[in-house]
A and B are shown apart, each in its own frame.
Chain A
Amino acid sequence: MSVFFQLAFDGLTIGLIYIILAAGLVLVLSVTEIFFVAYGQFYMWGAYIAWYVVSRFHMPYVVGLVTAIVATAVMGLASYLLIFKRMQHMDNRFLITVTGALGISLILAQAVLPAFGTQPKSIPNVFPGAFDVGGVHMEVKKLALIGIGVLVTLILFYVYERTKVGRAMRAVSLNSEVAALHGINPSRVYLLTMGVGCALAGLAGAILAPAYNVSSGMGNNVIATVLLMTMLGGMDSLLGAVVGGFIVGEVLSFGQYYVHQMNVVYLFLFIGLVIYFRPNGLLGHRTDLGV
């Protein structure tokens, strides 16, 4: 039984990273309608920036976390202002925005090498210690990850469902023209959403940095899984992102133990079946993306 709980715990740890990533991507996809393939690179940059601030300047971890969030948010805002803002009304929007996102992805993925070097990194000794509860080995760094992850998810839900800003986001994602008629400035909401979405990616990277390794390939590795997970939960549903992230995290954790590498195959097959029978995802309402 302790194996079960151990696997569930590990799945929850990695699942929370996925949940935060998927939540940010849901915001970007549903509000700005950009198929943002560069998203994984923001996650990688968040992890690298947190590592850099903590290990080079010997700052407390919180400073690294905040720096990572602010820096990735600024990068997201810049990419929207410089590139995607001009594409909002072009023909063939889907293809053009994917190409633009790939350009950003190339730049960000490569720029990390001259900036931080090619070796994998990790932040040591931020949350030392570990303890056993009923045979489950819990490291404090993973517990901290879970704590921060749950907190951020709750804040995000509150903002999205209860505040004026969140309502504006939902209105624009439903129909930007009608939202504009009601006095919401869609371009400002797009800008804000890109900032928040990319900041969430940076945050996910930054809270991953103490618990796992940081490497230059992690952005590319994660983006496809996160995209599929978003489709699984529903492209315009935050709750769907949480469900999708949780399912994927647990399936990967249990699958790794019981069926080894084949778990990814089963996971993708499962996601394909779900999307085939429910094109909107488990909890979503809508599937077009300007295609």
Chain B
Amino acid sequence: MKILLIEDEPELARSIDSFFSKEHVLCEAVQTFEEAFEKVNLYQYDCIVVDITLPDGSGLDIIRQLKEIRSEAGIIIISAKNSMDDKITGLEIGADDYLTKPFHLPELNARVKSIIRRRQFNGDKIIQFDQIRIVPETGEVSVNHKPLVLTRKEYELLVFFIANNNRLLTKEAIAEHLWGDEMDQADSFDFIYTHIKNLRKKIQDKGGQDFIQTVYGMGYKFSGQ
């Protein structure tokens, strides 16, 4: 998998790169509009993560160029400007998703994976993790071929966990993924605990193993044995 990261802040680019390297994703990072423009015209990427405000141009123009050359890469905008306008324009001209800085890296990871999955027209769009099988198009989940009935939040939680398997997810990152950033309430954390407890129980009821580890004081980690 190959990602082009267009981000003018080198430290942020390095962090994202470093995060993706664990996912066995090849992440190419460029810092200017010019470099990015050259890259998108020369190479093929699975996903392009683009910052809108670049020192020498607008990320929106790169998206327009990608559409012009009929690139099939998924596009995620990352922008510090929490601007509705940019978001709408970006999505209108063909971006797949929009993420506001500062974001949690697992969130970006989950979104990149979701986009790449949706773009695999030929391959299967099924998420398979150990005994768990998810069909995102229909929302069906099964463990050991036994159907699993999950609430909407439990489903979202599970997909988020699998996208970030073997990674520590903080309660804050989970809360933001499930409810967006206006849910900055201490209550939402025990709420997450309830959801995780239920999810764990449902999987185990179907004979699945306990994939969710609690990392004391920090969060949760989803991993196969």
* Chain A bound to chain B: no
Q: B residues near A, CB below 8 A?
A: none
Q: Which residues of A contact B (CB under 8 A)?
A: none
